[in-house]
Structure 1
Amino acid sequence: MTERSVVPALPAGLRAFLVTATNSTSVLLAATVAGLLWANLPLGDSYEHFWETELAVSLGERGFSLTLREWVNDGLMTLFFFVIGLEISQQIRVGQLRDRRLVAVPVVAAAGGIAAPALIYTAINAGGPGAAGWGIPVASDTAFVLGLLAVIGARCPEPLRLFVLTLTVVDDILAILIVAVFYTEDLSPWALLAVAVLVGLIVALRWLQIWRAPAYVALGLGVWAAMLESGVHPTAAGVLLGMLVTVYAPSEHKLLTASEIVHALSRDPSPELERLATRSVQRTVSINERLQLRLLPWTSYVIVPVFAFANAGVVLNAETLGEAATSPIAIGVAAGLLLGKFGGIAIGTFIPLRLGWGGLPGNLVWGQVLGGAAVSGIGFTVALFITGLAFADEPAMQSQAKIGILAGSLLAAVMGWLIFRLAWDRGGVCAPPGAPGDDGAFEPGPLPPVTARDHVRGPDDAPVALVEYGDFECPYCGRAVDTIRRLQEQYGDRLRYVFRHFPLREVHPHAVSAAVVSEAAADRGRFWEMHDLLFANQLALTDADLTSYAERLGVEAWADLARHRERVNTDREAGERSGASGTPTFFVNGTLHEGPHDQAGLAAAIDQALEEARGAP
């Protein structure tokens, strides 16, 4: 039902990644706090003793032994990096990374966000014992970054989440290359040869179209074991295997074939047709996306939290905090995350935009981009991972680096929140590309009078009418809801509030559908209930969400669709003729309000209108 927009619709795999990574943030945070608490309890020594416990696997005379922490870091985390490999492969082949203009800016921004933290850390630690830790502050933590953007809520529109998510995917690719190239020692040529042979067998199975899961699992385990012996960190095997998994966009041929077989099954059920229908339906979606859907909950809710629990434990007392306060390692990590990420991403965004290499999705402004750059300084999972590689035999250095990670990430989160609160909030209007400016080329006409077809709160004989042209997906309109409520409480029967549709389909992909559903609710006399429900759920306005809200209110969401869409379009066209060029746009007694959209700014305009009404003959 959603109209096409300049912001691409997120594919199913990307939506699953976004939702799962966002929702798992609280679990990851809880695991981090649990690790810190255990390490700082009176029996805190038991934390290290437990995770350093040896666990061996042997077959006859052959086998190997790892500590519990190594089983987590080298074993379980391979599955985490496997999922990253799946996502990278999908994005490169059928996703956002195929579009050069859309990907140019986040790619350069991610490169800047990698280079600047490394340079800042190196400048602080050059020639010192902690120089090897330059890779610690380079990677953002996707789960924490997306989680904070979700907490920020309506201030983070979908185009910004798309930009940040694309940036973090590229960030992951570069961070994995850094681990593979710079944190690898004592390479074994024979083990690497075994890796190459096993990968070749996987490619051969794909080429022969042999799709037997046990064969791929056995070969994958072989690649992991050979990588473990090679000297290259075994998590690289996860990324490599993930990128080898077949991925393709749904084809019309596969969809039609599946549809025909399902219809045949419905007419003449049989075990043969049931098996054929199951296979044909599965093949409409690539194994890459199906694996992401199955594995994401395990990696996001189990593996990464366990990793945090096993690695985040650091003693925080006067002695360790005092050492960290003067430690070049802790200072370098914190400065890299806080300043390096922010500056690197900001400069890396500015350069390709200035040179015309690409553009930003939707209609993002610099306040939004800078807020996204700041929160990208939250580095945790990969930062802790590289800490263990850089200072493998130096627990004191690991402790200082972990304190730097915690401090830098916390400060980056605070800075991002402040930017969203201050820098972006100034202006307070969403506008489509090419909106009319103040160059004198556009002369607005009169505001259409309020009629019975309008959505009105307040008495008809109120001396002041406040008309808003709004968009259910606009974050500034969402903030205006409370402002309008307080104004109605302040002025009572002297104020009549009118809401008209102005969906910015160029910026907000779900705005038209949300407006249409609100009109369906209006047919049942429940517009304002739907109005409040939509603004309370601005981050969940997909067609499925809108259908759910309509069912909750006893409304048929998509009934009389053409009439409702025409009504919404009529509102917007009338608003444009009257001078509305973005959302929210307010008119007070027919006069365009050009002041602030907060309670004080609107109240001043209403007071002036009341005085004019009292002085009118």
Structure 2
Amino acid sequence: MMLKRFFRKTAPVYQIISPFQALVKKLATSGFILFYTTAAAMLWANFHHDSYQHLWHLPLAVSLGDVSFSKSILHWIDEALMTLFFFVVGLEIKREILIGELSSMRRALLPVAGAVGGMLAPALIYAIITYNTDAAHGWGIPMATDIAFALAVLSLLSKRIPYGLKIFLSALAIADDIGAVLVIALFYTATIHWAYLGFAALLLVCLFVANLLWIRHTLVYALLGLGIWWAFLGAGIHATAAGVLVALFIPARGKYDTNTFVNEVRSFLVRFDCRNGDCGHTILLNQNHLNAVQAIELACHQTETPLQRLEHGLGAWISYLVVPLFALANAGVAVRTEGLTDTIRHPATMGVILALVIGKPVGITLFSLLASKALKAPLSGGMNWLHVIGAGMLGGIGFTMSIFISGLSFQSTELIDMTKIGIIIGSLLSAALGVGVLLTADFLHLGQSKTGTDGKSDVSV
């Protein structure tokens, strides 16, 4: 009896949160894990460089009969696990376009304009600094924003920032991801084997037909997606592009519409006929209750879309395992103190640092301002232009995608290591400057509140 009372009193109360709130919380947490794994990779590479290189370059083979794939652990992470990362990015892009911050032209104008400026300005600065050098091909490196790291930094400021800033930065980063994926597909693909590409196109048609036939089993899409990944590898196009393309074909509608779901659940809820207002401490005591709960669970499954199931099922694995593992395998750079000054002064390193620290905030702020003035796109959610400048600086945290593109840009390990050092330095400086600007915005807001002025008024730039 005491046990029954305990479980009644301690029954949890669950709070309903929006998909965006869940995404922000998950990404912010993964950002801290990413920071620690990056630090671990740097320490490992500098204190035991040989073991670090040896582990990630060990061959790992997958065989089925006479067919065998053998690649290094590093390649499996970059070409297989990161495909899952890009798949989840694609799911988030599709969700945002359908129902999120990119679903209407008016709401999307400012973050999309900021993303365009945040890609063009850094690429231009990098191209100017590395003009006519071996590092010139890496112009795509500083174009991307690491949303996990950026939101982790924002979470440190807690209630000092308006909620609209999180929405703006997240939408900007997602629009930024679209640009980064296009850059990888169009400019970082060497030779294309058209037979494999034709086979990939055929499988994409099969995905489209599966949508038309109202197929909602995720296994079908998983098998077709695996085939497309293999075809992209054979075609010479980086397989991560397959992840985004497959994600765009994942159905965003369930078998049941909302009205059908509500009617079914209501019909099952009437079976909970509890005497004296007490339904018991477990459904196992009443077979009718048990059957009703199972039927409601099935109705929920039929209503939930494949896009939701895959995003929820893979999201945690990507955020807490795949991306940190990518950082651990790729962020380790041996830094030699005697040549550090020359390394930083090298066009590849300096180009990345200046592109992230200067190009990102200038491009994001300038293009957002132009969109606001020319297209009448308003700032929302309590934001002012100082917040936009701070978001632009946080946009210079270009860790995961930037390191990924650096590996595609060069064959030389020396140039790859130099750009990685630039990415790490530029991202840390961007984070520090972004926090400083946002704290200043909060200080000015408090000052205006004390003097009786409107805290939501724009700060001139």
Q: Same fold (TM over 0.5)?
A: yes
**Aligned match of 1:209 in 214, 223, 226?**
214
- Are 2:160 and 1:155 aligned? yes
SS in 2 for 1:396: helix
Cα-to-partner distance string for 1:291-340 (whole Å, 9 max, x where unaligned): 22222111111000000000000011224423322210000000110000
Change (3 A) 1:348 1:424: farther
- Are 2:436 and 1:418 aligned? yes
Deviation at 1:274, TM superposition (A): 5.7
**Aligned match of 2:109 in 81, 104, 108?**
104
Tell me which moved more, 180-189 or 313-322: 313-322
Distance 1:582 1:423 in 2: 13
Equivalent residues of 1:368, 1:424 under 8 A apart: no
Matching residue of 2:87: 82
RMSD of equivalent CA atoms: 2.3
Equivalent residues of 1:13, 1:293 under 8 A apart: no
Equivalent residues of 1:78, 1:234 under 8 A apart: yes
Distance 2:236 2:453 in 1: 60
Change (3 A) 1:48 1:261: farther
Matching residue of 2:5: none
Tell me which moved more, 362-371 or 301-310: 362-371
- Are 2:33 and 1:14 aligned? no
Cα-to-partner distance string for 1:264-309 (whole Å, 9 max, x where unaligned): 5546839886654323222333222232222211111100000000
Residue pairs, 1:443-482, within 5 angstroms: none
Matching residue of 2:420: 402
Matching residue of 1:489: none
Matching residue of 1:343: 362
| One-letter amino acid of the structure 2 residue matched with residue 24 of structure 1 | S
Distance 2:380 2:264 in 1: 34
SS in 2 for 1:269: helix
- Are 2:321 and 1:302 aligned? yes
- Are 2:36 and 1:36 aligned? no
Matching residue of 1:246: 251
| One-letter amino acid of the structure 2 residue matched with residue 310 of structure 1 | A
Distance 2:338 2:55 in 1: 24
Identity %: 35
SS in 1 for 2:381: coil
- Bigger helix fraction: 2
**Aligned match of 2:381 in 362, 373, 380?**
362
- Are 2:311 and 1:318 aligned? no
Matching residue of 1:26: 32
5+ residue gaps, structure 1, are 1-9, 431-475, 481-578, 585-617
Equivalent residues of 2:162, 2:381 under 8 A apart: no
Equivalent residues of 2:352, 2:423 under 8 A apart: yes
Distance 2:190 2:156 in 1: 41
SS in 2 for 1:215: helix
Deviation at 1:255, TM superposition (A): 3.8
Residue pairs, 1:408-557, within 5 angstroms: 408-428=426-446
5+ residue gaps, structure 2, are 1-15, 274-286, 457-461
| One-letter amino acid of the structure 2 residue matched with residue 131 of structure 1 | A
| One-letter amino acid of the structure 2 residue matched with residue 422 of structure 1 | T
Equivalent residues of 1:104, 1:357 under 8 A apart: no
Greater RCO between the two (CA within 8 Å, min separation 6)?
A: 2
Change (3 A) 1:279 1:406: same
Distance 2:373 2:455 in 1: 27
Residue pairs, 1:260-339, within 5 angstroms: 260-263=266-269, 266=272, 269=288, 276-339=295-358
Distance 1:409 1:291 in 2: 30
Q: Tell me which structure has the larger Cα radius of gyration.
A: 1
Change (3 A) 1:258 1:31: farther
TM-score by length of 1: 0.66
Equivalent residues of 1:125, 1:131 under 8 A apart: yes
